[in-house]
């Protein structure tokens, strides 16, 4: 029986597996809640479905949200998510100043961050409310990811959008009601050049 996978193809597959495995070890996802109304009923899901990045070089913050990761695996419960899962949502915004948060005792900072959401091949300006807060090294929320400063800062994020902004209302399930997103105790990953593929 002939080998159906050529050596070059196999090399590419192994590279991609190693590439994704490397990302999985380095990056931390954040708990993400989403809800909307579909057929007159409120539907929601909550899972680790987003990545948050901060680029200290240009003070940009990136959020990527993969709706496919919010599925629970039950077709009848996941139906309302189907029109959202073939593309990921990406927010890019700019923070004022060079630091997310000064590390002082129980410090916190709330900001309205202007930026752009890219989703389903369309882009729109949006403002996200972000609440940054310090995590004590002795606290229950502290996780040592060897990121030093970034291990000490977390963020709560809230925003919403209408399906028609991004052409989602034209898809099979015709979602029309506001879609709300909340990220709680968000983990900030220090942005590196190799992560560029994740935010475009």
Start-to-end Cα distance in the chain: 41
pLDDT for the residue numbered 167: 96
- Domain-located, residue 167: yes
Please check whether residue 11 lies inside any domain of the structure.
no
Domain assignment of residue 22, yes or no: no
Domain enclosing residue 180, as ranges: 29-199
SS3 category, 167: coil
Assigned domain for 56 exists: yes
Owner of token pair 């709560």: 156
Residues 199 and 53: beta-carbon distance below 8 Å: yes
In a domain, 55, yes or no: yes
**Sequential DSSP letters for 101-141:** ----TT-EEEEEEEEEEEETTEEEEEEEEEEEEE--TTSTT
Q: Give the model confidence (pLDDT) of 100-130 as tens digits.
A: 776 666 678 888 999 999 999 999 999 999 9
Query: For residues 135 and 145, what is the distance between their CA atoms, to the nearest angstrom?
Result: 13
Q: Could you tell me if residue 4 is inside a domain?
A: no
For 114, residues 6+ apart whose C-beta sits below 8 A from its C-beta are 93, 94, 125, 126, 127
The CATH code of the domain that includes 130 is: 2.40.128.110
- Whether residue 182 lies inside any domain: the answer is yes
Q: Read off the pLDDT of residues 9-53 as tens digits, 9 standing for 90 and up.
A: 555 445 444 444 445 457 999 999 999 999 999 999 999 999 999
Number of domains composing the chain: 1
Confidence of residue 98 (pLDDT cuts 50, 70, 90): low
Question: Radius of gyration (Cα) for the chain, nearest Å?
Answer: 19
CA–CA separation, 184 and 30 (whole Å): 7
Does 18 fall in a domain?
no
């Amino acid at each position: 029986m002939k080998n159906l996978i050529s050596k070059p193809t196999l090399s590419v597959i192994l590279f991609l597996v190693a590439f994704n495995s490397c990302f999985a070890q380095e990056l931390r996802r954040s708990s993400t809640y989403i809800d909307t109304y579909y057929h007159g009923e409120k539907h929601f899901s909550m899972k680790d479905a987003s990545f948050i990045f901060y680029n200290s070089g240009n003070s940009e913050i990136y959020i990527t949200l993969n709706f496919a990761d919010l599925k629970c695996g039950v077709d009848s419960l996941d139906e309302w998510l189907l029109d959202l899962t073939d593309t990921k949502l990406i927010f890019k915004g700019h923070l004022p100043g060079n630091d997310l948060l000064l590390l002082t005792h129980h410090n916190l900072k709330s900001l309205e961050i202007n930026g752009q959401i890219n989703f389903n091949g369309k882009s729109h300006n949006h403002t996200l409310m972000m609440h940054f807060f310090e995590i004590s090294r002795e606290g229950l929320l502290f996780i040592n990811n060897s990121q030093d400063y970034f291990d000490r800062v977390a963020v709560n994020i809230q925003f919403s959008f209408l399906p028609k902004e991004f052409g989602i209302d034209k898809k099979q399930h015709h979602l029309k009601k506001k879609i709300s997103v909340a990220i709680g105790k968000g983990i900030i990953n220090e942005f590196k050049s190799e992560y560029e593929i994740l935010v475009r």
